[in-house]
Structure 1
Amino acid sequence: MAFFSNGTPRRIATVPVSTDATTAVLDSAHVGDIVGALGTIRQHDTDQGRSRGQRLRMLLAVLGPGLIVMVGDNDAGGIATYAQAGQNYGMALMWTLVLLIPVLYVNQEMVVRLGAVAGVGHARLIFARFGRFWGAFSVGDLFIVNALTIVTEFIGVSMALGYFGLPKWVSVPVAAVLLFAVVAGGSFRRWERLVFTLIAINILMFPLAFLVHPSVSATVGGLLPSFPGGLDSTLLLIIVAIVGTTVAPWQLFFQQSNIVDKRITPRWIRYERVDLWVGIVVVMIGAVAIMATAAFGLGPAERGAFADAGTVAHGLSAHLGTTVGAIFAILLLDASLIGANAVGLATTYTLGDTLGKRHSLHWKMSEAPAFYAGYALLLAAAAAVSFSPDHVLGLLTQGVQALAGVLLPSATVFLVLLCNDRAVLGPWVNTTRQNIVAGVIVWALVLLSLALTAATFFPHLSTATLELGFGVGAAIGLLGGIALTVTRQRGVRRGTEQTAAELGGLDPDQVEELEATPRSRRERRAILAADRDLWRTPALETLTRPNFSPVRTAGMIALRGYLALAVVLVVIKIVQQIGG
C-alpha cells in the first residue's frame, strides 16, 4: 500500500518478488521505470544478453545518485575547509583525503543496498526497526546540522558573487529562488539534468590547479601522514572538519532516498556501485585541486592566516591575476548551489520519511505540497541566517563540518546495524569482511573525536601523548573486534547455499529441489544471483522489530552521551577561535 499526504491508501505496482508479501515501498512514485538524465530503463528490463554498448547505456541511465552525493560533498564548506588546510598547512594534510576513500565507499555502498532493496529512505528504516526514540535521536541531529550546512552554502554564494561585486542582499535571495526552481518542476529527469549541468562546471578544477603551478614533490609528500606544527586541538579540529565535509551524515540520507526516488532496484546495484566510484574519483580530484590552489596560489604572508573562501579568491586574484580568482569564485558558487540542493533534499526526503508524507521529485507541487513547502521553508530560514555578522559566519563554516565529523560515528552505527538486519536486507546483508571494515571505520572516527575532546580539555597535551592515546585506542578496538568476531562465530551456522536460497525468497520445496538437482557450482550461483536480484524488503509493518540487548542499549546510550559532550566541545573551540 502507498500512503499519501491526504491519508488515502492506494495500491501500487510492485516489482515481482519471490514471496506474496507486499514490499516496504510506501510511495507509488518510487515504483516504475528508471528515468535518468542520460537515459531510461524500463521497470522489468534486465542486462541479461545485452551487448557491451547496451550495458553502457544502462549504466548512463543509472548514473546519478552516487555522482551527485559525492560532488555535493565538495560544497561551500568543503571548499572552505580544503582551502584552509592548503593555506595553513600546505599539502601536508592530503593524506587524510586518501584515508577517507575507503570510508566513503564502504559507508555509501551500504546505503546503496539499503535503498535499492528496501525501497524506502534511511530515516524510515530507523524509525521502523528501532522505534521512535532512536529515530528521533538519528534525525534530530541531522536536521540541525543540515540547516546550518545550508547556511554555509548561502555564505558561499554571497562570497562568490561578492567577488564579482554583487551585494549579499541580491545574491542570496536570487540563489534561494533558483534553488527552489531547480527542484519544483515535478520531473525527476529535469532536476537531474539541471544538477548534471552544474556538475559539468567542475571541469574548471583542472585549469585552476594548473594555473597555480603546483609542486609535484610537495604534493606527493602530502601523501605521507604528518602533523605539521604538532598534534594540537587546532590541527585536530581541521582534520575532523576534513572528515566531516568529506564523509557527512547527510550523504547517507540523501543517497538512499535518491536511489529510492530514481527507482533503482537490486538488479542495478552493480551499476550503482560504479556510479559511486565515479563520484568518489570526482570528489577526490576536486578536494586535492582546491587544497593545492590555496597551498601554491597564495604567498607566504597568507600562510596560517585563513579567514574564509572569499578572502582566498581575492588573495588568488592579487597573486596570480583576476582569472584565477574568478575561476575559484565560480567553483565556489557552483559548489554552494549543488551542496544546498543536495543537503536541502536530504532534509526534506527525511522529513517526508518521518512524517509519512509524499516525498518524491516525480510529484508536482500540487501533489506533494508538504515536500516542496518544507524545502522552501528550509531555504528561506537558511538564507535569513546567512545575513549574520561575517566574522561569525566564517568560523561557522568550519564548525559545521567539524560537527558533522563528530556526529558521523552514530550515523555509521545505525547504518551498520541496518545492514546486518536480515529481515530488511535478506541476502544483501553485510559480509563478515564488510562488518570488520565498517567497525574499523566507526572506531577510528570515535578515536578522532576523543582526541579532539582531550586536546580541547587539556590544550597542553603533547603530540606524543595524543599519538600514544591513538595507539592504545587502536589496541582496545582490535581486542574488542576479535571478541565480537569470536562471539558471532559461535552462533548456529547453516549451510551457506541453503541460507542464501531461503533468504533469496525460495520456499522450502524450492530449496530442496535446488539441493537435490545435480548442478554445477556455477549454475547454482547463477540461480541464487538471479533470485537475489529480485529480493525486496517485505512491508515493514509485517516484520518483527529486533531487540536491543542490555549491552547494546548501554553502548548506544553511552555513545549518544559522549557525542553530545563532543558537540559542546566543538562549539567551545569555535567560540574560542572567534574570540581570538
Structure 2
Amino acid sequence: MSNRNLNQAACAAVLDSAHLGDIEGAMGTIRQHDIGARNSWGARLRTLAAILGPGLIVMIGDNDAGAFGTYTQAGQNYGTALLWTLLLLVPVLYVNQEMVLRLGAVTGVGHARLILERFGKFWGAFSVIDLFLLNGLTIVTEFIGINLALGYLGVPRLWGILVAAGIIIGAASTGSFRRFERFSLALCFFSLLLVPVFLAVHPPLGEIARGFVVPQFPAGSKLSDVMLLVIAIVGTTVAPWQLFFQQSYIIDKRITPRFIPYEKADLVIGIGIVVVGAMAMMAFTAAAFQGTAGFGRFTDAGAVAAGLEAVGGRAAGVMFALALLDASIIGAAAVSLSTAYAIGDVFAVRHSLHRKPADAWGFYLVYTGVIAVAAVLVLLGSDALLGLLTNAVQTLAGVLLPSATVFLLLLCNDKAVLGPWVNGRWLNLFTGAVIWVLVMLSIILTAATVFPGMSGESILAVLGGGTALGLLGFAALSAARRVRQPAAQPVEADLPAELPRMAWRMPPLSALPAPALSLGTRLWMGVLRGYLVLAVLLVAYKVVQVALGT
C-alpha cells in the first residue's frame, strides 16, 4: 500500500486502506484520480465495462441453489400462477440495492459497521448475529445444490463437494480483486444455460404472459402453504445478505460517487438477468410437470432435472444441473464474502480481496471457515435434515428482511452519513410502503400458521386494514417531520450545483454527530424486533410441519 493511500485512509471513513486506489475491474481499470469527462459513447462503455460487477454478481448470485429450489417448486406445484410475484419484486430489488450502492460509494464503510456506529452495540450485534446465522444456513443450501447437481451428473459426492469447496475458497484467496471478479463474471455468463433449457422445453408463451400480468392464487391449494412459498420467493429474491454484500463489495472495488450512474446501470442489467432466469425456471418446470404424476409433488432440484430430461431430452437435464452447480458456487462465494466483510467491518480488521491471505488472515479465515463447515455438514447430514434446512432458509430470509430494510432506510435518511445523497421524499414513501408490505406478509404467514383454515377474504381484510393503518401512520410521521425539518442550507454560488454532491464523501466515523432517534422510532424498532423473533419461531414450526408432511 502506497504512502498516499495510507495518508488518505487516515483522514477518510474507510476502515481498510486497501479500499483506496485504482478501480481494478474484471474488464478495465480506472485510475484513482481520473476525473476526465466521458463525453463519447466509447468512453462511457469502457467506463461501464470497468465498473461492471457488483450489481451483476449480487443479483445473479441471488439466483442460487435456494432460488432454484424455490422457483422450481413454484412451477412444479402451482404452474405459472405465481409468476406475478417476480414482476412486483423488480422495483423492490432496484430500490433496495440502489440505496445500498449509494451508501457504499458515499461512505466507504460497510453496512454492518454503519449499523453498529449509528444505532449502538445492541442493534449492531443483533443484525450481525442475524446475518451470520442466516448466511451460515444459506451456504449449507448452496452445498446441497452442489450435491444435487453432482448427483444428477453422476459425480461422486465426496470428491465433488471437496473440489467445489476448494474452487470457491481458491477463487477469493489469490490476493487479486480482479481475478475474483473475472471468476465471478464467468459464472454469471454460464448462468445463461437456463436459456437453452427454456428453448428445449418451450413452455407456452401465452400462459407465461398471463401468469405475469394476472395476480392469482392457485385454486384448490392450501392457503398457508402458498403464503409460505410466496414469502420464500420474496426471501430468495430480496435476501438480507445482498445488502451487506453489495455495499462492502462496492467499497472493496473502490467505486466512488462519481461512478454511481454506471453502477446503477450494472444493477439494472443484473436485475434483468435474475428476473428472466427466475421466470424461465418457473415456466419450464411448470411445462415439464403439467399433466404428470409429479405435478404438485415437488421434492428437490435434482428431481426437476430428471423431469426436464423426460420432456426436453438428456441435454436439457444436464444443462439445468450445470446451471444449478454454477449458481450454487457463485452463491456460496457471494454469501461467504458477505459474512467475512461484515465480521471485518464490526471488528475493524483488514477485509479486502486486494490483500493476500497472510495480510488479512482474519477475513480469509471467516470466509474459508463458513465454506468448510457447510461442506462438512452436507457430507455428513441426513437427507431429512438437509431438506429441512433448504425449506427454512428462504422463508426465514423473507421474515427477517423487514428489519434489514428498516436500518437501510434509516441510514439513507441520516444526513451525517449521506449528506447531499440522502433519500428524497418519494423514495422514502416507496421504501416505507415496501417495509410495511413485508411486515404484512409476515403477519399473514403468522396468522395462517396459527389458523390453517384462514380464508382468502380474511387475507384481503388483513391487507386492506394493514394498508389503511400504514397510510395513516406514514401521514402522521410525515407531518411531524415537516414540523421539525430545518431550513435547507444554500449552495455556494461560486460552485456548480452538482460538483459538491459528486465530491462529497462521509467524514470519519469518529467525526459524525450522534444520530437523533426519536423515542417513537426506538419503540417502533423494538416492537418490530420482538415481532420478528416471534414470527421466526412460528415460521420454523410451520416449515417443520411442511417438511414432515403433517
Instruction: Bin the TM-score by the shorter chain.
Output: over 0.9
| 1:464 maps to 2:457 | yes
**1:258: how far off?**
0.2
Match of residue 190, structure 1, among 179, 196, 204? 179
Offset of 1:49 from its aligned partner? Answer: 5.2
2:160 to 171, 176, 183: 171
Please, which of 244, 256, 259 is the counterpart of residue 265 of structure 1? 256
Alignment of 1:495-514 (within 5 A): 495=488, 498-499=489-490, 501=491, 511=492, 514=493
Question: Following TM superposition, by how much is the alpha carbon of 1:46 offset from its aligned partner in structure 2, in angstroms?
Answer: 2.5
Aligned 1:59-458 pairs, distance under 5 A? 59-223=48-212, 224-229=214-219, 232-300=223-291, 301-387=293-379, 388-458=381-451
CA deviation map 1:240-295 (0-9, x unaligned): 00000000000000000000000000111111111110100010011001111211
Q: Structure 1: any 5+ residue segments left out of the alignment?
A: 3-8, 16-20, 502-510, 518-523
Offset at 1:11?
A: 6.9
Confirm or deny that 1:12 pairs with 2:6. yes
Asked if 1:570 corresponds to 2:539, the answer is: yes
1:298 deviation in Å?
2.2
Counterpart CA distance in 2 for 1:222 and 1:288 is: 10
Tell me by how many angstroms 1:166 deviates.
1.5
Deviation of 1:482 after TM superposition, in Å, equals 1.2
Cα offset for 1:492?
4.0
Structure 1 distance, partners of 2:112, 2:460, is 37
Report the CA distance between 1:209 and its aligned residue. 0.7
The offset of 1:22, in angstroms, is: 2.5
Q: Which whole-Å CA distance do the structure 2 matches of 1:395 and 1:211 have between them? A: 32
1:466-497 Cα shifts (integer Å, max 9, x gaps) = 111111111111111111112222234424xx
User: Displacement of 1:47 after TM fit?
Assistant: 4.6
Residue 517 of structure 2 is matched in structure 1 by: 548
Distance 1:470 1:49, change over 3 A: closer
Matching residue's letter, 1:245: T
**Partner Cα separation in structure 2 for residue 568 and residue 73 of structure 1:** 25
Q: Specify every segment of 5 or more residues in structure 2 that has no aligned partner in the other structure, as ranges.
A: none
The answer to whether the Cα contact below 8 Å between 1:123 and 1:253 also exists between their aligned partners in 2 is: yes
Q: Which amino acid aligns with 1:12?
A: L
**What is the match of residue 5 of structure 1?**
none
Q: Give SS of 1:373's match.
A: helix
Does the 8 Å CA contact 1:138/1:411 hold for their aligned counterparts?
Answer: yes
1:302 counterpart SS class = coil
1:566 CA displacement: 0.8
- Given that 1:231 and 1:466 are in contact with CA atoms closer than 8 Å, whether structure 2 keeps it comes out as no
Q: Distance in 2 between matches of 1:468 and 1:173?
A: 51
Which whole-Å CA distance do the structure 1 matches of 2:38 and 2:147 have between them? 52
1:474 is matched with 467
Is 1:487 aligned to 2:474, yes or no?
A: no
**Alignment size in residue pairs:** 544
Identity of aligned residues (%): 55
Q: Distance between the aligned counterparts of 1:415 and 1:10, measured in 2?
A: 32
Alpha-carbon spacing, 1:89–1:427, altered in 2? closer, same or farther (3 Å): same
Matching residue's letter, 2:133: I
Q: Which moved more, 1:547-556 or 1:364-373?
A: 547-556
Change (3 A) 1:132 1:339: same
Q: 2-side partners of 1:435 and 1:49: how far apart?
A: 31
Deviation at 1:396? 2.0
**TM-score, L = length of structure 1:** 0.91
Taking the aligned partners of 2:45 and 2:35, their CA distance within structure 1 comes to 13
CA distance in 1, matches of 2:389, 2:280: 23
Deviations 1:321-363 (A, max 9, x none): 2111111101100000010000000000001011111000000
C-alpha contact 1:392 1:578 (8 A) present in aligned 2: no
Q: Which amino acid aligns with 1:445?
A: L
Matched, 1:529 2:519: no
Contact 1:153 1:336 in 2 (8 A): yes
Query: What is the alpha-carbon distance in structure 1 between the residues aligned to residue 138 and residue 339 of structure 2?
Result: 11
Amino acid at match of 1:269: I
Q: Separation in 2 of the partners of 1:395 and 1:225? A: 29
**CA shift digits 1:178-198 (9 cap, x unpaired):** 100100000000100011111
Which letter maps to 1:431?
G
Question: How many Å separate the matches in 2 of 1:143 and 1:280?
Answer: 25
> After alignment, is 141-150 or 377-386 more displaced?
377-386
RMSD: 1.6
What residue number does 1:507 align with?
Answer: none
The worse-fitting range, judged by mean Cα deviation, of 413-422 and 528-537 is 528-537
Moved more, 276-285 or 205-214: 205-214
CA deviation profile, 1:364-417 (whole Å, cap 9, x unmatched):
011111111111111111111213111332242132000000000000000000
Give the whole-Å Cα distance in 2 for the aligned partners of 1:391 and 1:375.
27
Q: What amino acid sits opposite 1:555 in the alignment?
A: W
Checking the alignment, whether the CA contact within 8 Å between 1:231 and 1:462 is kept in structure 2 is no
Structure 2: how far apart are the matches of 1:183 and 1:49? Answer: 32
Letter in 1 for 2:250: I
Whether the 8 Å contact between 1:130 and 1:545 is mirrored in structure 2 is: no
Q: For the Cα contact (< 8 Å) 1:13–1:31, is it kept in 2? A: no
Question: Could you say which residue in structure 1 is the equivalent of 2:526?
Answer: 557
Q: Kindly tell me: are residues 532 and 205 of structure 1, through their superposed partners in 2, closer, same or farther at Cα, counting changes over 3 Å?
A: same
CA–CA distance in structure 2, aligned partners of residues 267 and 164 of structure 1 = 46
Deviation readout 1:61-107 (Å, 9 max, x if unpaired): 01110110000000000011000000001111010000000100000
Distance 2:305 2:114 in 1: 43
Q: CA deviation at 1:164?
A: 1.3
**Could you list the per-position Cα deviations for residues 134-162 of structure 1 after superposition, in whole angstroms to 9, with x for gaps in the alignment?**
10111111100000000000000010011
Distance 1:392 1:325 in 2: 26
Residue 549 (structure 1) shift:
2.0
Residues 1:441 and 1:206: Cα distance change in structure 2 (over 3 Å): same
Structure-2 separation of matches of 1:164 and 1:251: 30
- 1:49, 1:576 → 2: CA distance? 57
Answer yes or no: is the 8 Å Cα contact 1:299–1:319 preserved in 2: no
Q: Aligned letter for 2:215?
A: P
Deviation at 1:13, TM superposition (A): 4.4
C-alpha displacement at 1:205, in angstroms?
1.7
Q: How far apart, CA to CA, are the structure 2 residues paired with 1:288 and 1:403?
A: 22
Q: Which whole-Å CA distance do the structure 1 matches of 2:320 and 2:308 have between them?
A: 8
CA drift of 1:42 comes to 0.6
Query: Are 2:305 and 2:318, in contact at CA under 8 Å, matched by a contact in 1?
Result: yes
How far off is 1:543 after superposition?
A: 1.1
| Cα offset, 1:50, TM superposition | 3.5
Please name the residue that 1:40 is paired with. 29
